[in-house]
Structure 1
Amino acid sequence: MKKTVCELFAGVGGFRCGLNNIKTLDDFEKKEKWDTVWFSQWEPSEKTTQYAHDCYVYHFGERLDKNGKDTTNYNIEDVDKTTLPDFNLLVGGFPCQDYSVASSLATSKGLEGKKGVLWWSIRETLEAKKPPFVLLENVDRLLKSPAKQRGRDFGVILACFRDEGYTVEWRVINAAEYGYQQRRRRIFIFAYKDDTNYAKTIIDKENYSINDTEENKQEAMEKVILTDGFFAKTFPVTKADANRLRTQILPKEVGEVSDSFQCNFENTGIMKDGMIYTLKTVPSYYGKQITLGDVMETGVVDEEYFIPEEKLYYTDPSVTHSDETEERLPKKFRQTWQYLKGAKKLLRESRATGHQYVFSEGAISMIDEEDKPARTMLTSEGGFSRTTHIVKDKQTGRIRLLTAAEAERIQGFPTDHTKYCLMDGKIVEMPLRKRRFMMGNALVVDLVVDMEKTLSVIFDNEN
């Protein structure tokens, strides 16, 4: 089977870099193993610029639809999916703002959210192009969204795949638990048409039949989850202690799923013929561990990354908490990293009732530990935020923020991948804040590199 790809919600090309094992800028000169015939990247919040799209084009060039038109920077909802070139693998990290760990689950609107509706563009693509294989990524909170009807959104996604004749495997993967340089937990979804050789091999190997007993089906599906499936082959796991496979049937209509379906999805599972099989698993990895220190700069770092002493501490560096229940600290004290990352207590007022209450939060490490994988990088990276990484410069010992190149390496991209864009035919530099934003939005490329090895075997065994 030809290794042809369509990359939706492409960002700066994480899936494409992973599928083609692009690790350095020199690798862009090599012939790509996987042919990306079309991609889509459009950021609605950018009114005058499209940095992610233009960075993608700088590295990979344009792609035209069947009508010879470049629609790669259109709102995907406005693209006629029937005009897309044919492809065998659909990939994408579809927008996850409605399920983001940066916001409260209680306020999540899931598929009803402003960006959550972009799932329907994926479904339209499945209906129009019928790709035999699909690989998607999202935040793991998708499994629990929305708060008042947990599992509904993922159930809707599974029902859409079922209606188009797909079996779906999923796994929540923390990149650091397989040796990589970031503690980033995301759900990956691998779907395949039921008439593919891969689907038939999985079924035949386990002697699975739609008319088989439920006990035999469960045994077969558990083997797919633990040893024989796509994710099991790529990222080995074992069953969590005393955990049992749970099953649940999807309602026949997507609308019924939306109205009333709930499910406690585990971190691993498979959906086949409308039946959900889900099991809690734990990683089985004993290899090398890459750390934050391994990807940090060892040479001279630009002065713009260093934090002035007056912005670091407002008092003795050993102080890790503040109590403002009696009186607020001066503004200049609160505008320091020590205050921001420290534990604190302060009075707040309820908007609903007007009564006062004490807000508390714990301290987090001021300086990120070099001997561990980096914490999850968010789109706010580099801003004055508790989640921003602060490191000790290897050469000078001074305290600073991550460089743009370090942020890229934490996500497994080539160093300086986001440095340049091709904008209106001119090469321009991407602003630093945008480079960090792109990495906060990206996936860990190394995971896709690993998945490609399994995908390549699957494709080679197709007709």
Structure 2
Amino acid sequence: MEKTVCELFAGVGGFRCGLNNISSVEDTNKPEAWNTVWFSQWEPADRKIQWAHDCYVNRFGTCLDLDGNDTTNEDINAVDKTKLPNHTLLVGGFPCQDYSVASTLATSKGLEGKKGVLWWDIRDILEAKNPPFVLLENVDRLIKSPASQRGRDFGIILACFRDLGYIVEWRVINAAEYGYQQRRRRTFIFAYKNDTKYAKRVLNDAKYVAQHGDELHRHSMAKVLLGSGFFASCFPVAPVDAKKVRISKLPDGIGELSTFFSYTFENTGIMLDGVFYTLKTMPEYNGRQITLGDVMDDGYVSEQFFIPEKRLFYTSPDVNHSDETKGKLSKEERQTWQYLKGAKKISRTAANGHEYIFSEGPIALVDEYDKPARTMLTSEGSFSRTTHIVRDKMTGKIRLLTPTEMERIQGFPTDWTKECLVDGEKVEMPVNKRRFMMGNALVVDLIKQMEGTLSDIVTREE
């Protein structure tokens, strides 16, 4: 079976970099092991220049549909899915703004949200092109969304796969727990057609065991989730008693599921024929830990990334809390990183007149060299508690991350997002856009780690 790929919501090409082990910008001149036959990247907020798409095209060139048209930068809702080239593997980090850690779970809208509806475009492609294998990525909270009906959205996704004849494995993976340079938890979904050789190989006794009761079936599925399955093969986990595998069944209809279904999915699971098996697993990794310090720039860094002293501290540098219950700080004092990242007590009044004290704990002002980076968000570099602040290796001064450091934190080649191809001309991408691209990306190293297993699976389908 050919190693052909369709990459949806492609961003700046994280899946493609991972599948083809691209470690430097020069690697794009080499033949690719996985042939990307079509990709899609369209950002409605970028009205003048489609920065992500144009960065992707600058590195890889474009792809044409079956009619010879370039539809890679059109709204995926408007693209005729039947015109897409056939492919063996469908991949995508489908938009996750409605589940993002940047907003509270209680306010997330899940599949009903503006971005969440794009799941149905994935489903339409599955129906139109029938790819044997699918690999998707989303935020870890996908399996618990929405807050009002936990697990409903993930249940809908599983049911769509079920109705189209797929088996689905899932795992929530923290990149740092497998030695990589960022503490980034993401839900990965690997789906494969019921009639593939891989499905028969992994689950060759599942239907037989199903006839002999839940207990034997539970043990069979535990072997898949802990050993022989896709994610267990790529990312080993510690042994778990098979008795901890929970078994349940999806409602038959999507409408019934959407209205009534709620379930607490664990971080690991598998679904076949509408029956799902889930349990909590812990990573098993004893290798080297890459840290933030390992990927930071060692030499000269432009002054634009350094933080002026007056924006750092409003009082003594060893103070990491503020108490405004007895008097408010000035606007200038509040516009400092020390205030923003420090603990707080603030007197507030609710809409109903109730007075209360808002409190917030401190977080480290400076991110240490000897730990993996925290999760990068699209707001990286803004005046936000989540923004990384580091101590420059050459000068010792405190600054923000550079775009090249953010690229390496996500596992991209250095300067991957430096330039875009806009109307045939190379244009430098603004720093704020480079930050957004990396906050929106996946950890390329995880895809690299999956690639060997994926390659073996597809090759053995011959």
1:96 is aligned to: 96
Q: In the TM superposition, what are the counterparts of 1:89-168 in structure 2 within 5 Å?
A: 89-168=89-168
Q: Equivalents in 1 of 2:399, 2:243: separation in Å? A: 44
Q: Equivalents in 1 of 2:165, 2:210: separation in Å? A: 14
2:222 is aligned to: 222
1:336 is aligned to: 336
* Deviation per residue, 1:396-443 (Å, 9 max, x gap): 101110000000000000000000000111100000000000000000
Q: Equivalents in 2 of 1:174, 1:415: separation in Å? A: 22
Q: In the TM superposition, what are the counterparts of 1:349-360 in structure 2 within 5 Å?
A: 349-351=349-351, 353-360=352-359
Q: Secondary structure at the match of 1:217?
A: helix
* Deviation per residue, 1:188-231 (Å, 9 max, x gap): 00000000000010122667455443222221111000000000
1:64 is aligned to: 64
Q: Secondary structure at the match of 2:203?
A: helix
The Cα of 1:83 is off from its aligned counterpart by: 0.3
The Cα of 1:240 is off from its aligned counterpart by: 5.3
Q: Equivalents in 2 of 1:399, 1:383: separation in Å? A: 15
1:366 is aligned to: 365
1:321 is aligned to: 321
* Deviation per residue, 1:77-124 (Å, 9 max, x gap): 111100000001000000101101110111111110111000000000
Q: Percent identity?
A: 68
Q: Equivalents in 2 of 1:89, 1:241: separation in Å? A: 33
1:444 is aligned to: 443
Q: For the Cα contact (< 8 Å) 2:209–2:220, is it kept in 1?
A: no
Q: For the Cα contact (< 8 Å) 1:208–1:220, is it kept in 2?
A: no
The Cα of 1:39 is off from its aligned counterpart by: 0.3
Q: Does 1:401 align with 2:400?
A: yes
Q: Secondary structure at the match of 1:427?
A: strand
Q: Equivalents in 1 of 2:49, 2:381: separation in Å? A: 21
Pair 332,263 (structure 1): closer, same or farther in 2 beyond 3 Å: same
Paired amino acid for 1:81: K
Q: In the TM superposition, what are the counterparts of 1:42-441 in structure 2 within 5 Å?
A: 42-204=42-204, 208=208, 211-239=211-239, 244-351=244-351, 353-441=352-440
Q: Secondary structure at the match of 1:297?
A: coil
The count of residues paired between Structure 1 and Structure 2 equals: 462
Pair 208,295 (structure 1): closer, same or farther in 2 beyond 3 Å: farther
Pair 261,207 (structure 1): closer, same or farther in 2 beyond 3 Å: closer
Q: For the Cα contact (< 8 Å) 1:81–1:125, is it kept in 2?
A: yes
* Deviation per residue, 1:231-266 (Å, 9 max, x gap): 000000024589711011000011111010111100
Q: Equivalents in 1 of 2:2, 2:84: separation in Å? A: 16
Q: For the Cα contact (< 8 Å) 2:169–2:189, is it kept in 1?
A: yes
What TM-score comes out, normalization by structure 2 length? 0.98
Pair 242,453 (structure 1): closer, same or farther in 2 beyond 3 Å: closer
Paired amino acid for 1:265: F
Q: Equivalents in 2 of 1:205, 1:454: separation in Å? A: 21
Q: For the Cα contact (< 8 Å) 1:5–1:35, is it kept in 2?
A: yes
Q: Equivalents in 2 of 1:276, 1:326: separation in Å? A: 55
Q: For the Cα contact (< 8 Å) 1:110–1:146, is it kept in 2?
A: yes
Pair 258,207 (structure 1): closer, same or farther in 2 beyond 3 Å: closer
Q: Equivalents in 1 of 2:49, 2:209: separation in Å? A: 53
Q: For the Cα contact (< 8 Å) 2:381–2:387, is it kept in 1?
A: yes
Q: Equivalents in 2 of 1:239, 1:259: separation in Å? A: 36
Pair 240,398 (structure 1): closer, same or farther in 2 beyond 3 Å: farther
**Mind listing any 5+ residue stretches in structure 2 that lack a counterpart?**
none
RMSD in angstroms over aligned alpha carbons?
1.2
The Cα of 1:34 is off from its aligned counterpart by: 0.2
Q: Equivalents in 2 of 1:401, 1:241: separation in Å? A: 45
What TM-score comes out, normalization by structure 1 length? 0.98
Paired amino acid for 2:146: P
Paired amino acid for 2:460: N
Paired amino acid for 2:423: D
Q: Equivalents in 1 of 2:126, 2:452: separation in Å? A: 24
Paired amino acid for 1:186: R
Q: Equivalents in 1 of 2:133, 2:99: separation in Å? A: 25
Paired amino acid for 1:10: A
* Deviation per residue, 1:111-150 (Å, 9 max, x gap): 1011100000000000000000000000010111111110
Q: Secondary structure at the match of 1:360?
A: strand
Pair 168,282 (structure 1): closer, same or farther in 2 beyond 3 Å: same
Pair 340,240 (structure 1): closer, same or farther in 2 beyond 3 Å: farther
Q: For the Cα contact (< 8 Å) 2:222–2:242, is it kept in 1?
A: no
Q: Does 1:457 align with 2:460?
A: no
1:7 is aligned to: 7
Q: For the Cα contact (< 8 Å) 1:239–1:279, is it kept in 2?
A: no
Q: Which moved more, 1:151-160 or 1:324-333?
A: 324-333
Q: Equivalents in 1 of 2:259, 2:418: separation in Å? A: 46
